[in-house]
């Protein structure tokens, strides 16, 4: 994967305008926020990554049943690039391990015991060679954790960084997801009020489509930023 462009998945389109603008893009679809109207748009996406959406559900006071998620996610087998397992949102790694037995690739968090990574790697090998990396709490200053984890992960495993777009320039991520792309469209419209929200989203999509991301690329501080 070294030197290859990574994939940025646009996370969870929340309405039909966002879903329409994401046509032809790699998209993250979450069980916790999924609505039936999305079915008409999923064939238009370039590729799909399936996630439980446990974090969003937890913030809204909901809980996700691993059995219900496993049943729902089974429809995407053979259609999605990968299906993520259900993490215990409270940080109980033992519960997460039990959930991974039922479905999905595992995720290694900075709050997990370091020795757990070896077990997760073995699970990842049985789940399509995908492994997630997640950071609990603030995402700034996590270079040391990421570097240490990446050094232990075999090169044949695809590593996905959950909401780690800020670290897309470094290490060997195969993919990350952007949770702010649709918010970026809103912010852009505040700066350019003569454009519609859909037109602003189109600009954000062009940024994602045309920005070629490779590890250790130069000028990483200015690439992808919008200033007017």
Task: Note the pLDDT tens digit of each residue in 110-156.
Answer: 999 999 999 999 999 999 999 999 998 777 778 899 999 999 999 99
| Domain membership flag for residue 215 | no
Which tokens in the block code for residue 133?
A: 């990396």
Quick check: is 226 in a domain? no
**166-172: long-range contacts, CB 8 A cutoff, minimum separation 24:** 166/139, 167/139, 167/142, 167/143, 168/6, 168/8, 168/213, 169/213, 169/215, 169/216, 169/217, 169/220, 170/143, 170/146, 170/215, 170/216, 171/146, 171/147, 171/215, 172/1, 172/2, 172/215
Q: How far, in Å, CA of 113 to CA of 130, rounded?
A: 20
Residue 64 lies inside a defined structural domain of this protein: yes
113 found inside a domain: yes
- Number of domains making up the chain: 1
What count of other Cβ atoms lies within 10 Å of the Cβ of residue 53? Answer: 23
DSSP 79: T
Q: Does 135 fall in a domain?
A: yes
For residue 216, being part of any structural domain is answered with no
Whole-number pLDDT of residue 222 = 44
pLDDT in tens, 5-27: 789 999 999 999 999 999 999 99
Decide which of 215 and 177 is more confident. 177
Which domain CATH number covers 15? 3.20.20
Q: Is residue 96 part of a domain?
A: yes
Q: Per-residue pLDDT averaged across 68-92, rounded?
A: 94
Question: Of 211 and 32, which is predicted with more confidence?
Answer: 32
For residue 84, what is the DSSP state?
B
> How would you classify residue 146: left for phi > 0, otherwise alpha for psi between -120 and 50, otherwise beta?
alpha
pLDDT digits (tens, 9 = 90+) for 152-188: 999 999 999 999 988 887 778 999 999 999 999 999 9
Number of H helices, E strands in the chain: 8, 8
What is the spatial distance between Cα 119 and Cα 97, in angstroms, rounded to a whole number? 9
Q: What is the pLDDT of residue 54?
A: 79
Would you place residue 215 in the very low, low, confident or very high pLDDT band (cuts 50, 70, 90)? low
Residue 2 lies in a domain: no
Residue 219 has pLDDT above 60, yes or no: no
Question: Is 60 a residue whose pLDDT tops 80?
Answer: no
CA–CA separation, 56 vs 63, rounded Å? Answer: 10
Residue pair 26/7 in contact (Cβ under 8 Å)? The answer is yes
pTM above 0.85, yes or no: yes
State the helix-helix crossing angle for 181-191 and 197-210, rounded to 10 degrees: 120
The CA distance from 114 to 124, in Å, is 16
pLDDT band at 216 (very low <50, low <70, confident <90, very high): low
Q: How far apart are the first and last CA of the chain?
A: 35
Q: What is the radius of gyration, based on Cα positions, of the chain?
A: 17
What's the mean pLDDT when you consider all of the chain? Answer: 89
C-alpha 12/C-alpha 63 separation (Å) is 18
Range of the domain at 81: 7-210
DSSP code of residue 46: S
């Amino acid at each position: 994967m070294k030197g290859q462009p990574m994939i940025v998945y646009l996370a969870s389109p929340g309405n039909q305008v966002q879903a329409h603008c994401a046509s032809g893009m790699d998209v993250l679809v979450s069980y916790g926020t999924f609505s039936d109207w999305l079915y008409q748009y999923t064939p238009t996406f370039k590729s799909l990554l399936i996630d439980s959406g446990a974090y969003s559900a937890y913030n809204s006071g909901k809980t996700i049943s691993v059995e219900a998620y496993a049943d729902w996610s089974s429809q995407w087998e053979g259609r999605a690039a990968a299906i993520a397992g259900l993490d215990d949102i409270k940080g109980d790694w033992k519960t997460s391990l039990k959930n991974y037995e039922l479905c999905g690739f595992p995720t290694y968090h900075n709050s997990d015991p370091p020795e757990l990574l070896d077990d997760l790697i073995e699970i990842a090998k049985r789940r399509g060679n995908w492994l997630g990396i997640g950071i609990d709490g603030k995402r700034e200053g996590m270079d040391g954790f990421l570097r240490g984890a990446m050094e232990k992960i075999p090169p044949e495993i695809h590593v996905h960084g959950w909401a780690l777009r800020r670290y897309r320039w470094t290490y060997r991520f195969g993919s990350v997801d952007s949770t702010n792309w649709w918010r970026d469209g809103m912010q852009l419209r505040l700066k350019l009020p003569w454009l519609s929200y859909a037109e602003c989203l189109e600009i954000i999509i062009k940024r994602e489509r045309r920005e070629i991301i490779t590890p250790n690329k130069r000028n990483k501080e200015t690439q992808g930023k919008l200033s007017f």
